[in-house]
Structure 1
């Protein structure tokens, strides 16, 4: 059965509305799906904050909303599940959102003594469980660098000889101590590491 020109004219608006409605439904479905994916990704991107203080959580969430500084490296401690971005200075902002290179010490991709500082009630609280022999990894601009923890030390804030650059390649991580001290912590906790001869196959050195 064929349609007259008049019948076809009457049917066309109905068909057009049907397809327009279907397109709008598909469009909003895609928008909703993308928003859900972005929300899931933002949640997954957050670090594990189970050990963090409430103050540090709030500071982190505020800090990541600011303009990003370039990340020089990612510091990882596989045995602890630690993975933290390392920025070019140990400013308050950089340590609120990760860790920072101590002024006057080598950058992660440079030779010499690398010094990295971070807050004891944020990323670095897990360092309470670090042990001599643990493997540390720096993912740098020039590739991976592997270190083995050789010494754990508690020092006074004025013992700056432990935080000076040198020709001797090593890595020192520093945070305040005690880890759960109420108020401004009086001491510093050092994790001192030397280059590994070869990348270990597990989170611990052999």
Structure 2
């Protein structure tokens, strides 16, 4: 009799525990999905907004140069370049969070704004210029890092001879892929400075790995004539 009473009391308790666990897992799942959605939305909004600002800055810069080169016999009307566009490049340059430029690899559909730094908040929104490495147009090794499951995911389809374009307020610079390799995270020599203009892209590897990937996928490209 006592056994039956205890067994009868145990079943509702176990059912309540299972319901609590189920509800807790559902709640955790909703929170994780919501967080992921917010991160994706934030990155898309940043890329779209900064891409738009960047294009306006480039157009303003081009328009300013062209207007200064016009013959005095054919002056450009004052309203040909709106004041907002003339000031766009200055506005972007004076912002602390302004992107350095944009990277494009047309064949694999990669297009992303570049920010300074490789901390997690930066790489959630953009690809990051590795501090201490060269800048586009400078002799040396330009290091750019990005997440393998977001903006640099397309690198899994990179091929030799693919062309990479870096565009900044200083101009557009073209590079051609001449090597890819898989290295350990400690192999920082991939960022060594050569005596030429080199671009190095780095992301985690394997691309399909779940969790913290153990290795790094490296793309090396050399600058080519415009």
Q: TM-score range by the shorter chain?
A: 0.5 to 0.7
Given the alignment of the two structures, is residue 118 of structure 1 paired with residue 146 of structure 2, yes or no?
Answer: yes
In the other structure, the counterpart of 1:189 is 217
**CA RMSD in angstroms, aligned pairs only:** 2.4
Does the aligned pair in 2 maintain the 1:73–1:108 contact within 8 Å? Answer: no
Number of the residue aligned with 2:118: 90
Q: Which moved more, 1:113-122 or 1:90-99?
A: 90-99
Q: TM-score normalized by structure 2? A: 0.59
* CA pair 55-116 structure 1, distance change in 2 beyond 3 A: farther
Unmatched runs of 5 consecutive residues or more in structure 1: 1-52, 199-206
How far the C-alpha of 1:138 sits from its partner, in A, is 0.2
Measured against aligned partners, the alpha-carbon deviations of 1:97-126 in whole angstroms (never above 9, x if no partner) come to 110111221123433210000000001111
Contact 2:114–2:129 at 8 Å: present in 1 too?
yes
Whether the 8 Å CA contact 1:56–1:122 is kept in 2: the answer is no
Asked if the contact 1:56–1:96 (Cα under 8 Å) also holds between the matched residues in 2, the reply is no
Query: How many Å separate the matches in 1 of 2:36 and 2:204?
Result: 14
Show the 5 A alignment for 1:40-59: 58-59=38-39
What SS does structure 2 have at the residue aligned with 1:195?
A: strand
| Large movers: runs of 4+ above 6 Å | 53-56
SS at match of 1:188: strand
Distance 2:129 2:225 in 1: 24
Conservation of the 8 A alpha-carbon contact between 2:138 and 2:197:
no
SS at match of 2:139: coil
Instruction: Tell me: CA distance 1:188–1:101, structure 2 relative to 1, closer, same or farther (3 Å).
Output: same
Q: 1:141 aligns with which of 155, 161, 169?
A: 169
Equivalent in 59, 68, 76 of residue 104 of structure 2: 76
Residues of 2 paired with 1:54 and 1:153: CA distance?
A: 36
Kindly indicate whether the alpha-carbon contact (under 8 Å) linking 2:145 and 2:201 is maintained by their aligned counterparts in 1. yes
Task: Give the TM-score taking structure 1 as reference length.
Answer: 0.64
Q: How far 1:197 moved relative to its partner? A: 2.8
Q: 1:194 to 1:56 in 2, by over 3 A?
A: farther
More helix as a share of residues:
2
Matched, 1:131 2:159: yes
Gapped regions of structure 2 (runs ≥ 5): 1-32, 47-94
Structure-2 residue corresponding to 1:28: none
Structure 2 partner of 1:176: 204
Q: Distance in 2 between matches of 1:109 and 1:118?
A: 21
- Summarize the Cα distance change of 1:56–1:146 in structure 2 as closer, same or farther, 3 Å threshold: farther
The Cα of 1:88 is off from its aligned counterpart by 1.2
Higher relative contact order (CA 8 A, sep 6+): 1
Shift of the alpha carbon at 1:188? Answer: 0.2
